[in-house]
Amino acid sequence: MENEDKKLTQAPETELSEAEAAEMRVVTETEATEAAEVKAETENLSERVKVLSPAQLVLKRFFRSKLSVIGLVTLLVLYLVCFIGPLFSDMSYDTVDLNGPVEAQQTVITYEVDGVEYTMYDVTYTESGINKSAYPSAQHWLGTDENGRDVLIRVLYGGQISLTIGLVVVFLSTFIGVILGGIAGYFGKWVDQIIMRIVDIFYCIPQMPVLLICSAILGAYEVNGFARIYWLCLVLVFFGWAGTARMVRGQILTLREQEFMLAERSMGVPVWRKIFLHLIPNVLPLLIVEMTLGLGGIILTESTLSYLGLGVPIPFATWGNIIQALRDFTMLQYHFHIWGPPGICIMLAVLSFNFVGDGLRDAFDPKMKK
């Protein structure tokens, strides 16, 4: 009897367990169906919505600005034309056109015979030799300068030197500023005090008068040719690193207290790795913007010194020393083809670098959500 009672009591439990199992199977199948639907929707969403990386997001913001795109295209055209254009010509920046125009000199001779006065004209044709200040022609698209050199070729070679000087000076000054600013911001204390007081001294020095003095000293010691170009770059770098150092130092003072830097300290990461592999990359967007905006200023400085005769020496061509023709009022009034093209190139280069710098600044700004 007891066994039969146990069987009777166990039967309902078995039936209940089977019902629960069936219900669980239904629930499992429902969940699987819902999961499949969610997965399908996610896949469809991923196909419809493109996830952008930080670099792609920056590029999208940059190319959204029309002025930035115009500036970038203008710079590309300037670099390509200046560096590739001279390859298609057999003339150099110091080639003089000796096929000058034929000049006629007329001499008037008056004499009298039997009371009758006669006038005779003696015309002599001579070759002038140098084709000076010629107007644009098929042979010289922008004419020639006062020394008979092709203006277009000199503008192209001048663009090579002016744009190269800008790039070299900006990269070297940024390199020095990043190193000194990174060391000052990370170590702080007396190291920061020494470096920042040096930066303050450089900020107090009037840059343009000192550049004029340095250029005059180079001229007094007859430093010419490429040596003068190198010295000019070094002088510009010497006065150009202070602003970058101060900016990097301020950014690193903020970043060194972040959680990822505390984790690296606990892991025993070397100092140089923390500075140059973790801190500096976080400052890189601001460095790119500052370098781009600084290029225009360097080109203007070099052009000013060259115009004053204290920059790159003649016969080397830069946009600045080509504009020296403006010192002659006749050139200013009648020969726009000599000084106009280099002036337009300077304007386009500086404006383009500023447009690109503004576009990069907006693109790297995390507040720009649109």
Q: What is the length of the chain? A: 370
The backbone region for 118, taken as left when phi is positive above 0, alpha when psi lies in -120 to 50, beta otherwise, is beta
State the pLDDT at residue 80.
93
Q: pLDDT tens digits, residue range 47-105?
A: 555 666 667 777 788 888 888 899 999 999 999 999 998 888 888 888 887 776 666 67
Residues of the chain with CATH 1.10.3720.10: 60-93+145-364
Neighbours of 288 (CB within 10 A): 18
- How far apart CA 41 and CA 38 sit, in angstroms, is 5
Instruction: Tell me the per-residue pLDDT of 294-303, one tens digit each, with 9 for 90 and over.
Output: 888 888 888 8
Phi/psi at 308 (nearest 5 deg)? -80, 0
What sections of 131-241 are H helices per DSSP?
151-187, 189-204, 207-220, 226-238
Is omega for the bond preceding 136 within 30 degrees of 0, making it cis? no
Q: Which CATH number fits domain 60-93+145-364: 1.10.10.10, 3.10.20.30, 1.10.3720.10, 3.30.70.250?
A: 1.10.3720.10
Give rounded-to-5 percent helix, strand, coil for the chain.
70, 10, 20
Q: Is the Cβ–Cβ distance between 176 and 245 less than 8 Å?
A: yes
Task: Give the whole-angstrom CA distance, residue 8 versus residue 15.
Answer: 11
* pTM greater than the 0.95 cutoff: no
Low-confidence ranges of the chain (pLDDT < 70): 1-54, 100-104, 114, 122-129, 365-370
**pLDDT at residue 8, rounded to an integer:** 44
